[in-house]
């Protein structure tokens, strides 16, 4: 997203938020429509059951609506909403008595990892088996990361958020985000290295 487009999106969100705070419920419905699919996708990385993921996403929007009076606009609205969605998903998993599941990565996502391009051109049974093994290995590597690294790498590589937006969503300095993403990539790289050699 270009800076100009990002600024336009942010200013239109600010306008909608002002309208919601002035009592116009329909303005919040517009925000929900704008971000619903992104939030459902994000929550689905934590909550695997599609019906539960929808419920958790809905709950996140309800929390956002109720908390909008406290939203000061220090961060972009979608970053604030992402933070609410992540926390709601994590709380749901705790309530269900489960640890956070792995972030399932499909082959398209795995292409973002270094050296994967070498495997794309040859669609032999062996290479297809190897790419499936890479997919499972990356997924397993992410599953075993500490939670802070897992969230950072998921928001960066799978959600495409900027370092600034991740810092806001995770409520930590940007340097910490860079460090977490570096450490996550390093851990994933170590696990992948034997497959890629």
Domain count along the chain: 2
Whether residue 183 sits in one domain with residue 119: yes
The answer to whether residue 17 sits within a structural domain is yes
Instruction: Calculate the average pLDDT of the chain.
Output: 77
Supply the pLDDT for residue 5: 53
Whether residue 48 sits in one domain with residue 132: no
Supply the pLDDT for residue 63: 92
| Tens digits of residue pLDDT in 89-145 | 888 888 877 544 444 433 333 333 333 333 344 455 665 666 677 778 788 888 888
Nearest-angstrom CA–CA distance, 176 and 189: 20
The answer to whether residue 100 sits within a structural domain is no
What's the token pair of residue 79?
A: 């970053």
Highest mean pLDDT among 51-60, 120-129, 152-161: 51-60
| Tens digits of residue pLDDT in 60-95 | 999 999 898 888 887 788 888 988 998 898 888 888
Q: Measured in Å, how far apart are the chain's first and last C-alpha atoms?
A: 35
Whether residue 60 sits in one domain with residue 127: no
Q: Which residue range(s) make up the domain with 78? A: 3-95
Query: What CATH number is given to the structural domain containing 120?
Result: 1.10.10.10
**Which residues are within 8 A (CB) of 65 and not within 5 positions of it... i.e. 6 or more apart?**
20, 28
65: helix, coil or strand?
helix
Banded model confidence at residue 154, pLDDT cuts 50, 70, 90: confident
The answer to whether residue 191 sits within a structural domain is yes
Nearest-angstrom CA–CA distance, 107 and 119: 11
- Whole-number percent of the chain with pLDDT over 70: 76
Burial class (CB in 10 A: 0-12, 13-18, 19+), 134: buried
Report yes or no: 68 and 86 within 8 Å, Cβ to Cβ.
no
Supply the pLDDT for residue 104: 40
Helical (H) or strand (E) element with 103: none
Nearest-angstrom CA–CA distance, 193 and 8: 42
Q: Which of 69, 95, 121 is the last residue of a domain?
A: 95
Q: Phi-psi region for residue 60, left (φ > 0), alpha (ψ -120 to 50) or beta? A: alpha
């Amino acid at each position: 997203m270009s800076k100009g487009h990002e600024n336009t999106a942010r200013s239109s969100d600010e306008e909608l938020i002002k309208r919601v705070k002035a009592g116009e419920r329909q303005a919040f419905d517009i925000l929900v429509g704008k971000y619903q699919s992104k939030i459902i996708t994000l929550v689905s990385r934590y909550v695997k059951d599609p019906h539960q993921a929808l419920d958790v996403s809905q709950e996140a929007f309800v929390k956002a609506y109720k908390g909008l009076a406290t939203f000061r606009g220090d961060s972009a609205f979608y970053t604030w909403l992402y933070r609410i969605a992540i926390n709601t998903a994590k709380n749901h998993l705790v309530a269900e008595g489960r640890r956070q599941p792995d972030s399932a990565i499909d082959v398209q996502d795995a292409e973002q990892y270094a050296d994967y391009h070498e495997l794309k051109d040859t669609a032999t049974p062996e290479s297809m088996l190897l790419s499936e093994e890479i997919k499972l290995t990356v997924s397993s590597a992410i599953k075993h990361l500490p939670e802070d690294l897992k969230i950072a790498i998921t928001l960066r590589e799978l959600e495409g958020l900027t370092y600034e937006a991740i810092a806001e969503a995770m409520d930590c300095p940007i340097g910490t985000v860079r460090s977490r993403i570096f450490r996550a990539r390093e851990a994933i790289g170590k696990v992948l290295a034997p497959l890629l050699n």
